[in-house]
Structure 1
Amino acid sequence: MADNPPPDMIKGHGKRGGGSSGKVADFRYKRPPRPEPRSVGTRKPRALTAEGPSFAPKGPAGSRQAYAALDLGTNNCRLLIARPSGENFTVIDAFSRVVRLGEGLAMNGQLSDQAMERTMAALHVCAEKLRRRHVRLARSVATEACRRASNGAQFIERVREETGIALDIISAQEEARLAVLGCHVLLEDGPGPAVIFDIGGGSTELVLVEPSGAVPRIIDWMSVPYGVVSLSDTVGGSDDELAARQERYARMKHAVLSAFEPFAQRVRAFARDRSTIRLLGTSGTVTTLASVHLGLPQYDRQAVDGLIVHSSAMRDISARLSSMSPAERQALPCIGDDRASLVVAGCAILESILDIWPAPTLGVADRGIREGILRSLIAADAQGERSRAEILAARGDAK
């Protein structure tokens, strides 16, 4: 057992959002063209292909309709608005803000007034963007913080009343599925199995997949209620001295590894041949560490999304960051004040994943749930348009 039990095992923390959401139809992707062999440190081609978008409905004067995906997590509020573009989609507006919705949740079991006010301010910005862009279809999801909070449902209702945004509290299983749909095109080619993971603010999802036609087939998955916010809040300790920082980091890794243990046992047989296993991560943790690895003066999505990095390099960066003082971390480009206090927990989770799935390289994705939602929305709407066209054509033949 972990010294610090996962937050949802603490008294007063009930589970919410059981079962997969069925509000948006699933679909299959077309696999992007096979790229030329790549060396470590290069980026995977960033094609975003989906089946059906080229038939997406058109608005006035033949313009493409806009679709939106909003992901309200434990730490961030993120919005993407896009239009279909051939087999891809083009982002026409975006928004991201650190809201720390889950701040204090691990200890108190509910969303705090301050956290809800920060989040409402961000959601009002999102609502204005949705109106201004005349969005045809949108899906807005809330994840671990609202799943776990005793006042999560009341907050969702407040959001609907004040902004018009209808948030869907999705299950951990649905969260994992959408993350895979959004980023799997960046998975390294190869015959072996792969793990795709998403380190969030309040939870981490691990998905074991294998190649299977257009999209990877999901073999196994697990979600644990440890993300960068919940782990930081649960495993306390001082950051004043190096020895104290190292001791806290060790306790973080121990807690996460204990929570991952059932999944680790189930996937152990798949990881026997380390030369063929693959690993792909989507989260602020992996994109931040990739930025540090590249020495970027500021974050650059084009440089990070699709990057392949040696796992040993990510371990070295994790060890270095966990030993730094908060002030030293704040001074690093691409980390700053917002991530300085949380990145250490992300490093502990990442190293734990590398312990149970020791792939030689790690793929980095700056995409995930929102992209998965957008693909689903566009393809489902396109399928509906095709069905309506077929019905109208059949009626015309009947006449």
Structure 2
Amino acid sequence: MDLGTNTFHLLIAEGESHHYHEIVHITEAVKLGEGGINKGYIIPRAFARGVSCMQRFHDLIEANKATKVRAIATSALRNASNGHDFIEAVKDKTGIAIEIIDGEQEAGFIYQGVKLSGCLSAKTSLVMDIGGGSVEFILGNADKITWKQSFEIGAARLMDLFHRTDPIPPASVEALNLYLEDKLTDLFTATADTEIDKLIGSSGAFETFAGLIAAEKGEPFNLKNIQSCDFDEEELLALTGKIVQSTHLQRAANTGIIPVRVDMIVAASLVTRFMMQRLHIHQVSMCTNSLKEGVLAGMLA
């Protein structure tokens, strides 16, 4: 289980780490960070949704007779003053012991998940995972990680800080970009003397980008059938530009954007554009694997 700020994921599988069969793979829009993401507190209705979701996950785990179970919690629970209360409530009602991991561990698991997909090459890539609470950046290739770090600048946090009116006004976009410039100094230092072959977006918003571009072109798109895809730079920039200029109603009416991502896709688009332009990256790929696949690889190994 990957217990994120916006979504909780359950993946039940069997087999070997490089060749496994998915039995259950579901995502629940829990919105644990709703209303309190930048206050460091899980509000009561989000708390209740989270516990209820974990009870459903427990029932599926029992029904499928899973023998090894791990529940990994990230930014929202890591930073919430009542995060341990949530962990105790889940343990009491389900018996599931939630592990809170730090940003470095999170980035490591994401790398393992992306590596498992075969997206990495001998050249240096920058892996980016845009979550609701944090964004992880990993520099590395198919053999090793050369640098990794987690930053508390996730889409839910950015939306709370900058996306107060819709569509997001140009002044807010400029303020968000200045904020990223300030918060990501460690990343810019790490990449200063590094030639980055491509940016790999790990699951989340990048899956939405890929689906929307395919829909615009009238092409079939099914995440179950792909593990990665390459973007055309101009198509990706054009799409993210449209998203940034769109209204909530326009995004909500688009069946290619899942409800939990309708508003946060704006911040994710801005982060993606900022990274491409700031680091002069022209090749961008999407990888469907992320943290949960990285954790699973270790469990199956």
Hey, what's the Cα distance between the residues in 2 that align with 1:266 and 1:189? 19
Question: Alignment partner for residue 274 of structure 2, among 333, 352, 357?
Answer: 352
Tell me if the contact between 2:30 and 2:49 (Cα under 8 Å) persists in the aligned partners. Answer: yes
**Which residue pairs with 2:79 in the alignment?**
148
| Equivalent position amino acid for 2:176 in 1 | M
Q: After TM superposition, list the pairs within 5 Å mapping 1:51-62 onto structure 2.
A: none
**Which residue pairs with 1:306 in the alignment?**
228
Tell me if the contact between 1:188 and 1:278 (Cα under 8 Å) persists in the aligned partners. Answer: no
| CA displacement at 1:330 relative to structure 2 | 1.3
Q: After TM superposition, list the pairs within 5 Å mapping 1:323-342 onto structure 2.
A: 323-342=245-264
In the alignment of these two chains, the number of paired residues is 299
**Which residue pairs with 2:127 in the alignment?**
196
| Equivalent position amino acid for 2:74 in 1 | T
Hey, what's the Cα distance between the residues in 2 that align with 1:255 and 1:282? 22
**Which residue pairs with 1:65 in the alignment?**
none
**How does the TM-score come out when normalised to structure 2?**
0.92
CA separation of 1:313 and 1:261: change in aligned 2, threshold 3 A: farther
Is 1:165 equivalent to 2:87 in the alignment?
no
Where 2:46 maps in the other structure, the secondary structure is helix
Q: Deviations over 1:175-199 (max 9, x none)?
A: 1010110112445565431111111
Question: Alignment partner for residue 207 of structure 2, among 275, 280, 287?
Answer: 287
Where 1:307 maps in the other structure, the secondary structure is strand
- Report the RMSD for the aligned CA atoms in angstroms: 2.1
Hey, what's the Cα distance between the residues in 2 that align with 1:144 and 1:223? 10
| Equivalent position amino acid for 2:66 in 1 | V
Where 1:334 maps in the other structure, the secondary structure is coil
| Ranges in structure 2 where 5+ consecutive residues have no aligned partner | none
Hey, what's the Cα distance between the residues in 2 that align with 1:348 and 1:338? 17
Where 2:280 maps in the other structure, the secondary structure is coil
Where 1:192 maps in the other structure, the secondary structure is coil
Hey, what's the Cα distance between the residues in 1 that align with 2:17 and 2:187? 39
**Which residue pairs with 1:369 in the alignment?**
291
Q: Percent of counterpart pairs with the same letter?
A: 23
Hey, what's the Cα distance between the residues in 2 that align with 1:188 and 1:132? 33
Hey, what's the Cα distance between the residues in 2 that align with 1:160 and 1:128? 14
| Equivalent position amino acid for 1:249 in 2 | V
Tell me if the contact between 1:268 and 1:356 (Cα under 8 Å) persists in the aligned partners. Answer: no
Is 1:75 equivalent to 2:10 in the alignment?
no
Q: Deviations over 1:270-303 (max 9, x none)?
A: 13xx6xx122111311111111111178962046
**Which residue pairs with 1:137 in the alignment?**
68
Tell me if the contact between 1:278 and 1:359 (Cα under 8 Å) persists in the aligned partners. Answer: yes
**Which residue pairs with 1:266 in the alignment?**
190
**Which residue pairs with 2:162 in the alignment?**
235
Where 1:135 maps in the other structure, the secondary structure is coil
**Which residue pairs with 2:178 in the alignment?**
254
| CA displacement at 1:367 relative to structure 2 | 1.5
Tell me if the contact between 2:51 and 2:86 (Cα under 8 Å) persists in the aligned partners. Answer: no
Hey, what's the Cα distance between the residues in 2 that align with 1:230 and 1:163? 30
| Ranges in structure 1 where 5+ consecutive residues have no aligned partner | 1-69, 380-399
Tell me if the contact between 1:195 and 1:357 (Cα under 8 Å) persists in the aligned partners. Answer: no
Where 1:295 maps in the other structure, the secondary structure is helix
Hey, what's the Cα distance between the residues in 2 that align with 1:116 and 1:103? 10
Tell me if the contact between 2:134 and 2:152 (Cα under 8 Å) persists in the aligned partners. Answer: yes
**Which residue pairs with 1:223 in the alignment?**
150
